[in-house]
Amino acid sequence: MRTADRSVHGGKIMSKSDVDVVVVGAGFSGMYLQKRLRDAGFSHRVLEAGGDVGGTWYWNRYPGARCDISTTDYQYTWDPELHEQWSWSEKHAAQPEILRYAQFVAKKHDLYSGIDFDVRVNDALWSDDTKRWSIHTSTGETIVCRHYVMATGCLSVPKEPDIPGADRFRGDVYVTGRWPHEGVDFSGMKVAVIGTGSSGIQSIPLIADQASKLVVYQRTPNYSIPAFNGPPPQYRVDRLVADRAAYEAEARQSASGVPITMPTVSALSVPRETAWELLETAWLKGELLETGIVFTDVGTNRAANDVVAEFMREKIRAEVQDPATAELLSPRKHPYGTKRPCMDTNYFQTFNRPHVRLVDLNTSPIRTITETGIDFGGESHDFDAIVYATGFDAMTGAIVNVDITGKDGVTLKQKWEHGPHNYLGLTTVGFPNLYMITGPGSPSVLSNMMVSIEQHVDWITDTLVDLRDKGFDTIEATPLAEEAWRKHCTDCADITLFQETDSWYMGANVPGKPRVLFPYIGGVGRYRRICDEVRARDYLGFVLEGAGRRQLNDGPIREIQPDVEMVLDMMATLGLPPIESMSPADARAFSDASSAMRPPGPAVGEIIDGTLPGPGGPLEYRLYRPSTTGPHPVVVYFHGGGWVFGSHTSDDPLCRALCTLADVVIVSVNYRHAPEDRFPAAADDGYAALRWVADNAAALGGVPDRIAVAGWSAGGNVAAVAAQLARDNGGPTLRGQLLLTPVTDGSRQHRSHDENADGYILTKALMEWFWNHYADPEDRSDPRASPLLAADLTGLPPAMIVTAQYDPLRDEGDAYARALESAGVPVQHLRARGHIHTSITMVDALPSGVAPRRRMADALRGFFA
Ligand SMILES: Cc1cc2nc3c(=O)[nH]c(=O)nc-3n(C[C@H](O)[C@H](O)[C@H](O)COP(=O)(O)OP(=O)(O)OC[C@H]3O[C@@H](n4cnc5c(N)ncnc54)[C@H](O)[C@@H]3O)c2cc1C
């Protein structure tokens, strides 16, 4: 291959050793970046350890190596002419064809002339004096550059075999990620394959075609879908032909970089036959992402995931003749999708062949590799060749393989000892002007990488152009922004099942790697919007410096919980009329209709509906009893709905959840509603109901002196007021009060009313509408309407107050928590980060609400301990 020989650039004489940008890697990332840098007029060097372009597709030449995203999607979009000039022969093209594609693009765009091949970057050093990087290469050259981009690939460093005796073997040794260019003929050979991840699953059937004996060593069985390879899928081709721009735009805004209809059905909401039918349809498409998105909750709910996992296991049993082997090949421990699912051609069927044997390393571990073979589980087998399909040091391996030293002599390896902390997966604090393509903290390996690569290359190049235009020399993320990004990535990971599994996504395949979810799971489209927003907000979370100027625009880019954001996005697309534009009757009907569509919540031991006497007539209640043996403590619960709508059944899922989690009886009371019954009807009913429940606790299956109150929103207001009235009117004595995003002060404006006035479901305007229906302005200072204004808050029961960050009512709850504390009341204050007024009540719909609900239940248990 030719090496770079450029001395003239954009009319300027350039030194090859002092350039604007150094790019490491000439895979699809480095190639496109080179094109953009050249077009934008940056002097640059591209350094590649391999002998050609293509990266992954240059190194991974093992038999069966193919892309598992369809070629309709796994291709560049930045050069529209390519679509006319190149056509793919298959849906899942094999490695030689993808490599030819990379070469074709490189030739077409004259990329070869700008790349130094067979050059490895060994280390890189930042100078704070010159504001430049010094890059040292395997050829002994030092290149100085302003900006330094690691386009080094997330699956480019094969994992070293860590099996005792591995270096003793005298036969042939192959690593799938470093396959010989001339190919390997296994005809008549005795072969061992170690590893059953994607590379193993792709290569095993073809190695079995040649070998006289094949033993496959498996530590973890994997889910694999048949590729049903053939021509590119016609329905995708048709869409591309009809409107390529629209198709590509949809891919860029999608969850994983491929246009796919997103699911609307929970796996738990349909009978098994329906689930099987839906899964079968997806399965027959032979597309990697389809089976995982048949249902809404496969990634977040273990029971839902089990539906898909069992479908997969049934498929394995149907293919593999020996039931014991089928069982060994069936994943049981990890949820579907938490390790990268594979695509195969005849993988499971291969184990029906007489010369192929599967060894389960959990029951027959390898004792040692010998000069002639492998000793395992009391057996000793000779082999002519061993193939290691043991995966990669993914996401960070190639980055930290280079000794990168940033500010103050800190190396990236040191900084990342406890996790690859970064901002947007693109940059990292302490390493100015260093960029990563598809690095940790970005969608990367959880996406169609072509879409993610193009997005990163565009973001980086556009940023470099901005810096140049504005006269800035350096850009560096701020610690605040980086920490907020870490939290956001963790929030996203926490609501999924990924953390249950030891996978390479979690760094678990490499000893000593920190255990975090390395890629960003929030989705390709959402991620792109975040990156765009950072630039649109003048590089939020970055400090830019140059020519005596400094621009610091600090702040977190995302704090809202990812599933809450999804709900808000969905609501925005529905274009619903604001509730405050409705009559109370219409608002009630709307609220009832919304409630009918939500998941029901967990099963409880018993539900009893009844009535209790109230000051204005009978009040309905619903009692939830746990399935454990009673008697139980009793919580009198008041529903939300702004005193205008809702009922004793309207917070059903939340009441069920609290009943089961805290092991208490919940009595949910339907107090009178405004505008028919205005202030103080709700307060009076709340207190009357509390008294009645306390008086009848034993008959209700409760323990008489173990009573607490709880409520959400306006119900939190009723609960707080009931607790004050109980203190002032001779009982009952309460063990505690649990107030979830309560209304505590209608007398004045709080900062959060304006900060979160709009966009988070409960709006400032809606709060006004509720108050107008409930209480006259002069009544709002009455402590029975605004418990915060009570002259004396001493002697009230211990409280847990939950406030939500993006709730207009947040500061009212904060103020009540502070006031109670000042009055000597024990208070637990849970500030639910990234939540809105309604999100914690959305049981089984928003996984991020699980942790706060557990804390609420713990508080209830604590009241009664
Ligand atoms: C077998 C296999 C199948 C895959 N199939 C798919 C698929 O179907 N869909 C999908 O989206 N993704 C797939 N991927 C992921 C694939 O890696 C990306 O799609 C894409 O090819 C990555 O391109 P890249 O340029 O970012 O990195 P790479 O292609 O990995 O290129 C990085 C380059 O950097 C070079 N390099 C690294 N360190 C140094 C150094 N210190 N000095 C000099 N050079 C260095 C390497 O030699 C390499 O050539 C697959 C990966 C593998 C391994």
Three-state SS sequence of 712-724: ECHHHHHHHHHHH
Tokens linked to 482: 């980086």
* Cα 637 to ligand 1 centre (Å): 56
Of ligand 1's atoms, which has the minimum distance to the CA of residue 450? 11
The model's pLDDT over 599-629, given as tens digits with 9 standing for 90+, comes to 889 999 999 999 999 999 999 999 999 999 9
Distance 155 CA to ligand 1 centre (A): 6
Using the mean position of ligand 1's atoms as its centre, give its distance from the Cα of residue 445 in Å.
10
809-862 confidence digits (pLDDT tens): 999 999 999 999 999 999 999 999 999 999 999 998 899 999 999 999 999 999
Q: Does ligand 1 have an atom closer than 6 angstroms to the CB of 467?
A: no
**pLDDT the model gives residue 575:** 85
Read off the pLDDT of residues 321-334 as tens digits, 9 standing for 90 and up: 999 999 999 999 99
Does the beta carbon of 411 lie inside 6 Å of ligand 1? Answer: no
508 C-alpha vs ligand 1 centroid, how far in Å?
20
Distance from the CA of 103 to the center of ligand 1, in angstroms?
Answer: 15
Residue 184 identity: V
Cα of 68 vs centre of ligand 1, distance in Å, is 14
Please check the confidence at residue 5 and state whether its pLDDT lies above 70. no
Q: In this predicted structure, what is the pLDDT of residue 12?
A: 42
Q: 56 CB under 6 A from ligand 1?
A: yes
* 287 CB within 6 A, ligand 1: no
Ligand 1 pocket test: which of 56, 136, 287 has the largest number of ligand atoms within 8 Å of its C-beta? Answer: 56
User: Which residue has its alpha carbon closest to ligand 1 atom 48?
Assistant: 55
**Helix (H/G/I), strand (E/B), else coil: 385:** strand
Distance in angstroms (rounded) separating the CA atoms of residues 225 and 424: 32
Residue 720 Cβ inside 6 Å of ligand 1? The answer reads no
pLDDT (0 to 100) of residue 3: 38
How would residue 596 be classed by pLDDT, with cut points 50, 70 and 90? confident
Say yes or no to pLDDT of 83 above 60.
Answer: yes
- Given a cut of 60, whether residue 14 has pLDDT beyond it is no
Nearest CA among 765, 610, 771, 628 for reference residue 693: 610
Collect all residues with Cβ–Cβ distance below 8 Å to 571 and sequence separation of at least 6: 761
The answer to whether the CB of 60 is under 6 A from ligand 1 is yes
CA of residue 396 to ligand 1 center, whole Å: 12
Q: Does ligand 1 lie within 6 Å of residue 69's CB atom? A: yes
3-state secondary structure 124-189: EEEECCCCEEEEEECCCCEEEEEEEEECCCCCCCECCCCCCCHHHCCCEEEEHHHCCCCCCCCCCC
Report which ligand 1 atom has the smallest distance to the Cα of 198: 1
Distance 655 CA to ligand 1 centre (A): 50
519 lines ligand 1 (CB under 6 A): no
Residue 253 Cα to ligand 1 middle (Å):
23
Please report, for residues 67, 242, 528, the alpha-carbon distance to residue 456 in angstroms, rounded to integers and kept in the order given: 21, 27, 9
Nearest-angstrom CA–CA distance, 407 and 432: 8
Ligand 1: centre distance to CA 55 (Å): 5
Whole-prediction pTM value? 0.90
Ligand 1 atom at minimum distance from 202 CA: 1
Mutate to test the pocket of ligand 1, among 36, 45, 68, 155 (most ligand atoms within 8 A of CB): 155
Under a CB-based contact definition with an 8 Å cutoff, are residues 52 and 1 in contact? yes
Task: Evaluate: CB of 497 within 6 angstroms of ligand 1.
Answer: no
**DSSP-assigned letter for residue 780:** G
CA angle 131, 137, 142 (to 5 degrees): 45
CB of 25 shorter than 6 A to ligand 1: yes
Q: How many residues does the chain have?
A: 865
pLDDT at res. 16: 84
Cβ of 452 less than 6 Å from ligand 1: no
In the predicted model, is pLDDT for residue 1 greater than 70? no
CA atoms within a 13 Å half-sphere pointing along the CA-CB vector of 289:
21
Question: What residues contact residue 257 under an 8 Å CB cut-off, 6+ apart?
Answer: 69, 73, 251, 443, 447, 448, 449, 450, 451, 452, 524
Question: How far does residue 227's CA lie from ligand 1's centre (Å)?
Answer: 21
Tell me the CA–centroid distance for residue 54 and ligand 1, in Å: 8
Protein residue whose Cα sits closest to atom 18 of ligand 1: 449
**Would you say residue 13 has pLDDT above 70?**
no
Q: What pLDDT score was predicted for residue 520?
A: 97
CA distance 800 to 830: 7
Structure confidence by residue, pLDDT tens digits, 186-224: 999 999 999 999 999 999 999 999 999 999 999 999 999
402 Cβ closer than 6 Å to some ligand 1 atom: yes
* Model pLDDT, residue 268: 87
**What is the rounded distance in angstroms from the CA atom of residue 194 to the CA atom of residue 176?**
10
Radius of gyration, CA atoms only, the chain? 31
Q: Is the CB of 151 under 6 A from ligand 1?
A: yes
What is the 443 CA–ligand 1 centroid distance (Å)? 15
Q: How far is the CA of 144 from the centre of ligand 1 (A)?
A: 25
Mutate to test the pocket of ligand 1, among 33, 136, 138, 152 (most ligand atoms within 8 A of CB): 152
Please state, in angstroms and as integers, the Cα–Cα distance from residue 26 to each residue in 139, 292, 402, 432, 514, following that order: 17, 32, 16, 22, 28
Any atom of ligand 1 within 6 Å of the Cβ of 438: yes
Residue nearest to atom 21 of ligand 1 (CA): 56
Give the orientation angle of helix 28-40 with respect to helix 95-108, to 10 degrees: 10
- The Cα–Cα gap between 317 and 600 comes to 34
Nearest CA to 341 among 272, 400, 288? 288
For residue 11, pLDDT over 80 is answered with no
Give the SS3 label for residue 194. Answer: strand
pLDDT per residue as tens digits for the range 758-789: 999 999 999 999 999 999 999 999 999 999 99
Q: Distance, CA 408 to ligand 1 centroid (Å)?
A: 31
Q: What is the pLDDT of residue 598?
A: 87
Tell me what pLDDT residue 2 has.
36
Instruction: Write down the pLDDT at residue 568.
Output: 93
Is any atom of ligand 1 closer than 6 Å to the C-beta of 459?
no
The DSSP result for 89-128, as a single string, is S-SS-BHHHHHHHHHHHHHHTT-GGGEE-S--EEEEEEET
Q: Could you read off the pLDDT of 287-308 as tens digits, one per residue?
A: 999 988 999 899 999 999 999 9
- Ligand 1 centroid from CA 127, angstroms: 29
- Residue 29 CB less than 6 A away from ligand 1: yes
Q: Whose C-alpha lies nearest to ligand 1, atom 41?
A: 121
**Pocket flag, ligand 1, residue 48 (CB < 6 Å):** yes
| pLDDT at site 106 | 98
CB of 444 closer than 6 angstroms to any ligand 1 atom = no
For the chain, the distance separating the N- and C-terminal CA atoms, rounded to the nearest angstrom, is 75
pLDDT of residue 15: 61
Residues 6 or more apart from 127 whose CB is under 8 A from it?
133, 134
Cα(311) to centroid(ligand 1), Å: 32
How many Å lie between the centroid of ligand 1 and the Cα of residue 224?
A: 22
Average pLDDT in the chain: 95
pLDDT the model gives residue 6: 42
Is the minimum distance from the CB of 55 to ligand 1 under 6 angstroms? yes
Share of the chain above pLDDT 70, in %: 98
Q: What pLDDT band is residue 161 in, cutting at 50, 70 and 90? A: confident
Q: Whose CA is nearest to atom 35 of ligand 1?
A: 25
